Amino acid sequence: MSTDLLEAPAPSDKDPAVAERRRLIQAAARGSLKRRRSVALGIRILFGTCMVLTLVPLVALIGYVSKRGVGALSVAFFTHTPTPEGIPGGGISNAIVGSLLINGLALVIAMPIALLVALFLIERRGPVANVIRFGADVLTGIPSILIGLFAYAIIVAHTHFSAYSASVALAVLMLPIMIRGDEEAMRTIPNELWEAGLALGARQSRVVRSVVVRGAIPGLVTANLLALARAVGETAPLLFTSIGSQIFSLSLNQPMNAIPIVIYQDGTTAFKDLQQDAWGAAFVLMAGVLLLSIVGRIFAARLTRKTR
Amino acid sequence: MEIKEGSPRHLLAQRRSSRSSGRGYAVVLWTAAIFFVVILAAIIEGIVSQSTRAFGHFGFGFLWSTAFNTVTNQYGAGPFILGTVVITVIAMLIAVPIGLATASFLTEMCPRRIATPLGVGIDLIAAVPSIVVGLWGLYVMQPVFLRDVEPFMQKIPVVKLLFKGVAEGPSLFLAGFVLSIMILPTMVALSRTALAGVGNLDREAAFALGATPWQVIRKVVVPGANSGILAAATLALGRAVGETIAVTLLIGNVTRITHPFSLLNPGATLGSIIVLNFGESGQLPLLKSALFALAVVLLVITFIVNVGGRLIVRKNRLFRLP
Amino acid sequence: MSDTTSAVAARIQQEVLAQGPGSVDLLDAPAAVTLTDVAIDFGPVHAVRRVTFPLAANRVTALVGPSGCGKTTVLRAINRMHDRSGGKVSGSIRLGDQEIYGRDAQPELIRSRIGMVFQRPNPFPTMSVLDNVTSGLRFNGIRNKKVLNEAAESALQSAALWETVKDRLDQPAVRLSGGQQQRLCIARALAVEPEVLLMDEPCSALDPISTAAIEETIVDLASEVTIALVTHNMFQATRCADLTAVFLLDDTDHIGELVEYGSTQQIFSSPKDPRTEQYVTGQVS
């Protein structure tokens, strides 16, 4: 083999059949090129149009809600309780407070449970962990109306409509998002940190608390913010648990108003003033949810930058 | 991060677990895990238990019965299963092709500097609460549909067979269309993941042979992402089935199937009928139980669709091991 | 020079000398591809500059050098793969008498005349063996079954894979072993009858036995196509290549450069540039 290297084979094609085939292929390639290129361009335009079609309705939506909703905002809007149609000066203060309380309680319920379940998934392998992960996946897909009905069945049916039953529903809604996010956040903590902590003789729970959880805080915050963004916007679960109210109330054991309920109830009336309230509430809700999502993503970006 | 056998963490964990402090920690974790499983069971139990009265009363015929009358206390799920299916089909017919095309554009035909912010934008817009989308659909899309779109559909040959009659406001078509807007971002995001999962090496080989970008998509990327795209469509379907509140605002509140069938008819889905009738069910225990029975049907449908989607995703990941 | 490096150098010299007297006219042989003063930039980053050398027709030219010195970058510029990744190529690259980056040059046509084999075998996973081999022809608009089958058989023969797969043409390509898959990729590239075949470390993902077998095939293929072979293994260059281009990183600004070009024998036994000598005798990794 080594001596063959320096013998000079004929520089032109050895086999005339090969040369013929090459001519045929090049002719076909050249001939089809124009058609292939115009098809490729046409597809690019078509798919680009599809992308525009995806964006346009949603951008238009945000624009319309903002335009119509901003007009309803005023100091009174945020500080007064609702007034009947025709009487000026009404607001949605009870709904804003209600949303804050209901979601706040839901967070308080869901965060520790999600964190512990996520820790469980990290520490243990095996069938139970797989069942839980599968269960969390399934739970993500359950429509929120069913979760509201669940809260009704186990709480309201035995008591009465209340704000805390709504919190329970929203907490269940938040759980799978938080569990998955928490688990991912803590998985980015390298093994060495765990082992270093344990090697120093610390108790396992102590290591977890001081080293892992603290290190994963940006990821945990992201998971919680995104879960909150999802829960804040939900309407259906509230309709079966907290049902809304016209008065200002801080009692968690009674029905409480919330922003999505205002949008739903006032938006479907025929009364202009109430409709305006609905649009103002819609703008506040949409802006709030978008803000939470954006902040959540910023934290997530910071987390990936840190681990790189 | 898993505990490797014999690793320092594992050995220490073994030692620790025999000490009381370690044991306390393990107990806490196990309690949380079991509590979570209990919650899942409770969801199913809570809904099913409230439905037993209706199922006991009507039997399995409930599923296809078209009766729904609060006076005679006769209820059935038929029209609502049909309504759910119809608007889901409309939404999927619109969202799957457009979503897939958008995803292809972003991953294959767009420089990454532009594609990434656009992708993020689409994801963010998906976060808009469905009640807001529903309100917008009611005030903005419904008039446009009544005035322009639906009369236009009545002029297209063949298609117009589905659009008989006179549109009056809420309609299956309107609800299906707005639903498609809501599931589009999901379809785009999941399809992008599926398409991006096809190794760059395969794309390069195709380009190196003289293929155009469309040829690469058609012959290499899409076939390679087949199961991922199927999973994306299935999960988008799951979202469509579960979406309730926007649909409620746009579909009307009709409790029977109107003849002749037309997409311009108002209708109802499993979710919308529950929302609209729950308030009055206080005095009618059979109605309330029937609504819970509808919830059970919805739960079963959602469960099948979502589990199907997840299984496809799992199978897909196994493909990618070599 | 330490004992090991001098032993390595001696071994290389022995292998080269065993191949017989040098042939000076190698360097005057007609060139299939000519690179003149080529520089490649990725945005503000300069990857390679001042690259001038030919790919002699029907010969194997090795591009050698340590990792990161630009040899793969130069290779991929020849079939315009940087069009996709945003690299900017300046200077002149000519295929015969056509400017590859000329204003009226079509990338798809260039790529049908200049084929590429990659570092890791990458048969299309959803296609059978036969479909893989004919994929290039089909991309370029050829549908005739007879032509496709004939071309496939010829290409698989050249890649020394025909006997192995002739009864398994409809099976999924991913069922072949690593070495067989790489032969399949070679056959796939050969099926469009390119004038030039670019090979980017084609054996780096293979075991030694498959590597030796593929090296034999590469040498045999030279009679049909001009071959450019990127490798970081000096011994592979001596085994397969008639001519060698040595690439190194400039010490000061870390831009890749072509340091020396010549017949493989001359490069390894009597290098002209001191940097080449350093690299060849192993002082540079």
Q: With respect to residue B205, please indicate whether it lies within any of the assigned structural domains.
A: yes
B285 in a domain, yes or no? yes
8 Å CB contact of C122 and B210: no
pLDDT given for residue B12 in this prediction: 56
3-class state of residue C60 by DSSP? strand
Residues B147 and B257 in one domain: yes
Q: What is the mean pLDDT of chain A?
A: 85
**What is the band of A6 on the pLDDT scale with cuts at 50, 70, 90?**
very low
pLDDT single digits (tens) C17-31 = 555 444 445 666 788
Residues B20 and B103 in one domain: no
Please indicate, yes or no, whether residues B43 and B89 belong to a single structural domain of this protein: no
Scored b (16 or more CB within 10 A) or e, A74-88 reads: eeebeebbbbeeeee
Distance CA A111, CA A113 (A): 6
The mean per-residue pLDDT over the stretch A41-68 comes to: 93
Closest CB to A236: pick one of B181, B275, B309: B275
Q: What is the pLDDT of residue C132?
A: 93
Give me the residues paired with residue C247 across strands.
Answer: C258
The count of domains in chain B is: 2
Given a contact cutoff of 8 angstroms between Cβ atoms, the answer to whether C46 and C22 are in contact is: no
Which residues does residue A221 pair with via DSSP β-bridges, in sequence order? none
With CA atoms as reference, report the closest residue to C201 among C219, C188, C215: C215
Question: With contact defined as beta carbons under 8 Å apart, do B194 and B203 qualify?
Answer: no
Whether residue A294 lies within 8 A of chain B, CB to CB, comes out as yes
Query: Which helix (H) or strand (E) segment is C197 a member of?
Result: strand C196-200
Please give the pLDDT value at position A205. 65
Which residue from A29, A138, A150 is facing B47, i.e. has the nearest CB?
A150
What whole-number distance in Å separates Cα of residue B75 and Cα of residue B273? 12
pTM of the model: 0.85
Per-residue pLDDT at C275 exceeds 50: yes
Nearest C-alpha neighbor of B46 from the set A124, A153, C143, A130: A153
CB pairs under 8 A between A and C: 78
Q: Which chain C residues are Cβ-neighbours of A37 within 8 angstroms?
A: 108
Regarding whether B156 and B107 lie in a shared domain, the answer is yes
For residues A257 and B91, the answer to whether their CB atoms sit within 8 Å is no
pLDDT tens digits, residue range C75-93? 999 999 998 887 889 999 9
User: How far does the CA of residue C284 sit from the closest CA of chain B (Å)?
Assistant: 30
**Candidates A54, A144, A189; nearest CB to B188:** A54
Q: Which domains, and CATH codes, for chain A?
A: 90-307 (1.10.3720.10)
Instruction: Verify that B146 and B50 share a domain, yes or no.
Output: no
**Contact residues, chain B, for C108 at CB < 8 Å:** 210-212
| A229, B266, C158 from C221: Cα distances, Å | 62, 71, 7
Report the distance separating Cα A24 and Cα A47, nearest Å. Answer: 34
Per-residue model confidence (pLDDT) at position B2: 53
pLDDT digit string, tens, across residues C210-258: 899 999 999 999 888 999 999 988 888 889 899 999 998 887 888 888 9
What pLDDT score was predicted for residue B312? Answer: 77
What percent of chain C clears pLDDT 90, i.e. is strictly above it? 38
Q: Do C147 and C108 form a contact (C-beta atoms < 8 A)?
A: no
Chain B residues whose beta carbon lies within 8 Å of the beta carbon of residue A234: 129
Instruction: Write out residues in chain B with pLDDT < 50, as ranges.
Output: 1, 16-20, 318-322
Instruction: Give C39 or C85, the one with higher predicted confidence.
Output: C39
B156: in domain: yes
Does B48 lie in the same domain as B99? no
H or E, element range at A20:
helix A16-70
Q: Do A131 and B214 touch (CB under 8 A)?
A: no
Q: Which residues pair with C198 in a beta bridge?
A: C116, C228
Where a domain ends, among B62, B77, B97? B62
Q: State yes or no: pLDDT of C134 exceeds 80.
A: yes
**Same domain (yes/no): B293, B270:** yes
In the predicted model, what is the mean pLDDT of chain C? Answer: 86
Neighbours of A104 (CB within 10 A): 12
CATH code, B225: 1.10.3720.10
Query: What domains can be seen in chain C, in order of their start residue?
Result: 3-105+113-122+192-280 (3.40.50.300)
Are residues B144 and B18 both part of a single domain? no
What's the token pair of residue C89? 């190529």
The type of residue at A32 is S
Chain B environment of C81 (Cβ under 8 Å): 204, 207-208
Which of A51, A120, A279 has the CB atom closest to B29's CB atom?
A120
**pLDDT value, residue C116:** 95
User: Quick check: is B35 in a domain?
Assistant: yes
pLDDT for B319: 36
Same domain (yes/no): B138, B38: no
Range of the domain at B56: 8-62
Residue B1 lies in a domain: no
**Looking at chain A, which subunits does it touch, using at least 3 CB pairs closer than 8 Å as the criterion?**
B, C
More confident residue, C221 or A196: C221
Please identify, among B23, B44, B62, the residue that sits at the C-terminal boundary of a domain.
Answer: B62
Q: Under an 8 A CB cutoff, do A11 and C23 touch?
A: no
Residue B218 located in a structural domain: yes
pLDDT at B20: 45
pLDDT in tens, B180-205: 999 999 999 999 988 988 888 899 99
Q: What is the mean pLDDT of residues C110-117?
A: 93
pLDDT value at residue C43: 85
Percentage with pLDDT > 70 across chain A: 89
* B157 shares its domain with B294: yes
Which alpha helices (DSSP H) does chain B contain, by range? Answer: 8-17, 20-58, 78-108, 112-125, 130-136, 142-144, 150-153, 172-196, 200-208, 213-216, 222-224, 226-242, 245-251, 270-278, 285-319
pLDDT > 70? residue A75? yes
Look at residue B267 and tell me if it is in a domain.
yes
Angle between the N-to-C axes of helices B226-242 and B285-319, in degrees from 0 to 180, rounded to the nearest 10: 170
Tell me what the mean pLDDT of segment A182-193 comes to. 81
The answer as to whether B3 is a domain residue is no
Higher pLDDT, C23 or A253: A253
pLDDT of residue A201: 66
Which residue of chain A has the CA closest to C155? A18
Among residues B26, B42, B62, which one ends one of the domains?
A: B62
